[in-house]
Amino acid sequence: MPSKRGNFRLGVRLKAILSYDIKMSAYTLLEQNALNFQLKPVSLREFLFLNETPCSLYALENGLYKILLKKRSFINSMILKDLINKGHAQVYIPHEDRVDLAIQQQEELRKLTRSLSIGNLLDNGKKQLNLLTSHMSFLYENPTNDQALSLQYQSARNLCHFLYQHPEIHEPLYREFLKQKHHYIFAQPLLASLFLVGILKMARLFSDKEVESLFITSYFKDIGMSAIPTVKYDQEELSTEDKQLLARHSKYSVQILTGRLPLSPQYLKIIENHHSFSLLTRELGLDSSTDKTLVKGFETMIISTTDIISAMIAERPYRPSTPVFEALELVKVLISDQFPHEFKLVVSYFRNFFRR
């Protein structure tokens, strides 16, 4: 039989779950107009793993804003799930409170980064991946914010060692992470880096420090996408100019990261060339294979390959996912002549990964 205290806690939670319906209140037309300028959309997933709302949350229904949760409201996964089921996967928050949300995420991220290997490893990994990805969206909005970049770097570094030590949780972690449906722009670097760490572990050719540098290289290689208008991300049809703009993200990444992350020049060079194996690069005539000064070594190839495969096997707003064996067929065309043994390693890794 539940104790008095248990009943009280349950009552508080139920009240919190139901309260956002009660809090829905109408604003005057003038207030609605003002809210148009004061609010910005964010994904409700940004509030995952927080215990209270650092800002008020609004919904847009039939063109009108309504308050969902007031600032400092209690939240948990049940409340968030319920809001998503009610169609509020995207919510609106005041522009000036965006930083408060990021600060709260940063605090959670810092705490978890320090205790990643304590307790349930899969739960910790899930939480870390989600917090990092949510925080990545803040970093994309503020790519010159040194504090946000440094926190991402420290957390990604710890995550790399954690993943390297625990390959047994990679597959369930991958499946759980996909369920969260983060925007692919923020999720893709982590997915590619998760596969990368697995392959590097299997290859047993690299020191801990080299694995870490390659992980960081893979994780931050697309940060230059932050310089590209978000509206371009989900477009199915892109003009040649748009494709060229997107293809330049590698160069923007190098500009954003140079002097701000402890990555030596050869890793920045990998970032600059991380699409040198892709079909788009060839289509745009930007293929650097004719550049004799560029050595496309194993490191560039493996970062590029895990990027291509993780992107192809995940859904995009403008296309379905591709089966992994089809992705491997494409990679075969791209790398097997130059890297026949390494291609076998990649096939063996993915076959093993998706066999479970």
Query: Where along the sequence are the contacts to Fe ion (CB under 5 A)?
Result: 222
The residue among 108 and 222 lying less far from Fe ion, judged by its C-beta, is 222
CB of 278 to Fe ion, least distance (A): 8
CB of 250 to Fe ion, least distance (A): 6
Residues 241-270: b if buried by 16+ CB within 10 A, e if exposed? eeeebbbebbebbbebbeeebebeeebbbb
The residue among 222 and 299 lying less far from Fe ion, judged by its C-beta, is 222
**Whole-angstrom distance, CA of residue 118 vs CA of residue 127:** 13
The residue among 80 and 225 lying less far from Fe ion, judged by its C-beta, is 225
Terminal CA-CA length for the chain: 41
Walk across the sheet containing 90-94 and list its strands.
Answer: 39-43, 90-94, 57-61, 64-69
**Cβ–Cβ under 8 Å, residues 197 and 213:** no
- Number of other CB atoms surrounding residue 147 within 10 Å: 11
CB of 330 to Fe ion, least distance (A): 16
The residue among 165 and 322 lying less far from Fe ion, judged by its C-beta, is 322
CB of 122 to Fe ion, least distance (A): 28
CB of 249 to Fe ion, least distance (A): 6
Taking CB positions, which residue lies at the least distance from Fe ion? Answer: 222
The residue among 134 and 273 lying less far from Fe ion, judged by its C-beta, is 273
CB of 222 to Fe ion, least distance (A): 4
- Number of other CB atoms surrounding residue 354 within 10 Å: 13
The residue among 46 and 222 lying less far from Fe ion, judged by its C-beta, is 222
**Cβ–Cβ under 8 Å, residues 49 and 131:** yes
Helix (H) or strand (E) holding 60: strand 57-61
- At residue 69, φ and ψ (nearest 5 deg) are -140, 135
The residue among 97 and 222 lying less far from Fe ion, judged by its C-beta, is 222
**Cβ–Cβ under 8 Å, residues 242 and 235:** yes
Q: Using the 8-state DSSP alphabet, how is residue 96 labeled?
A: G
CB of 299 to Fe ion, least distance (A): 15
**Whole-angstrom distance, CA of residue 129 vs CA of residue 172:** 12
